[in-house]
Homo-oligomer: A and B are copies of this chain.
Amino acid sequence: MATSLAEENYLKIIYRLCEGTKEDISTNSIAELTNNKAASVTDMLQKLAEKGWVTYQKYQGVRLTNIGESIALSIIRKHRLWEVFLVEKLGYNWDEVHEIAEQLEHIESETLINKLDSFLDFPKIDPHGDPIPSQEGEIPELGYLHLSEVKLNETCTLMGVAKDSAVFLQLLTKLNLSLGARLEVLEINTFDRSVSLKIAEEKPIFISHEVAKNILVKI
């Protein structure tokens, strides 16, 4: 069945909210991420339920069906592959690609995305470290930790980010924090949970808890 641009954006956001939790998700949480009002979300949830892409009981929250999830994953696959294209081939920085990919993810073509995948040499992750779903909708569970959970004196590798707002990514770039960086946790201040880090052999930097929470690492 055909999907409209609005429907695709809703499914993608519902997917993100379902990730991590078993609970059905709320109308309000969707409204926040779509920048729509709750009443508009209710309307759309009824349509999506009608099409069989979500299960929805009024007042009881919503959840993707298997079909809904596979549609969401195909949009996410397109989003992330286009991001790789923008960074690897066109020379964009990782903080510049989100808005453009937000548009490109809706281009509809059976063949296009697979040719793009092949042109890019079948990347496994996007410029933010997020895994790229396969054509069959498989997505590896990478099991990264938030840097804020890493213990004192442990060393880890920066594998991804939990947020892709431009200002956040620009801050990381300024701090010399990029994918693959080796990080050692030198200090954790109990007052505000800010963290002191050593990146490779350079001199230590300070980051807030808020930043540490949004950095994904592998021990």
Taking beta carbons and an 8 Å cutoff, which residues of A are in contact with B?
A: 86, 89-92, 96, 99-100, 103-104, 107-109, 111-112, 115-116, 119
- How many copies of this chain are found per oligomer? 2
Known: A90-B115, A103-B107. 16 other contacts (CB 8 A): A86-B112, A89-B119, A90-B112, A90-B116, A90-B119, A91-B115, A92-B111, A92-B115, A96-B111, A99-B109, A100-B107, A100-B109, A100-B112, A103-B108, A103-B109, A104-B107
A190 and B49 CA atoms in complex are apart in Å by 64
Complex interface: chain B residues within 8 A of A104 (CB): 107
A112 and B101 CA atoms in complex are apart in Å by 11
Pick 18 A–B contacts, CB within 8 A, sort by A.
A86-B112, A89-B119, A90-B112, A90-B115, A90-B116, A90-B119, A91-B115, A92-B111, A92-B115, A96-B111, A99-B109, A100-B107, A100-B109, A100-B112, A103-B107, A103-B108, A103-B109, A104-B107
A100 and B116 CA atoms in complex are apart in Å by 13
A116 and B90 CA atoms in complex are apart in Å by 7
CB nearest neighbor in B for A115? B90
CB nearest neighbor in B for A5? B5
Complex interface: chain B residues within 8 A of A99 (CB): 109
Q: What is the CB-to-nearest-CB distance from A188 to chain B, in angstroms, rounded to a whole number?
A: 40
